[in-house]
Amino acid sequence: MRSLVSGVAKHLVVGVDDDFRVRESIERLVESAGFASAVFSSAEAFLLSGRLAEATCLITDLRMPGMDGIELQRRIRLERPDLPIIFITAHPGEEIRQRALAGGAVDFMSKPFEVGDLLGAIRRAAHESSNE
């Protein structure tokens, strides 16, 4: 599902990260690429926002206070099993990477991530969502 912005359908890319600087970076990158964005400081805030249904792609941190990214992924899969999820983390471990990918993540990146890599992953996810 896409948001209607200024009469043009736009993909909504959601970012969830407890670090303000990362949220700000995601928001700027997403909007500079022509996508609509919504950022949240916690998984709980995102789930309570009512924006899950319209999200085209989710970018989430792995480790956050409260609900972590893996639990967020598990909960999202109950309602939106098709939603592309990209993990970004400062704590990349092979075991957790495999758990995220096994849960359906489309990408798993280490912080600091390359802007071009994240943008490419977002574009692939938006393209996949458009084909559904």
Q: What does DSSP assign to residue 114?
A: P
Find out whether the peptide bond into 81 is cis, omega within 30 degrees of 0.
no
Is the pTM higher than 0.95? The answer reads: no
Count CB atoms within 10 A of the CB of residue 28.
12
The pLDDT tens digits of the residues spanning 71-93 come to 999 999 999 999 999 999 998 88
d(CA 52, CA 83): 9
In the chain, the domains with their CATH numbers are 3-89+99-130 (3.40.50.2300)
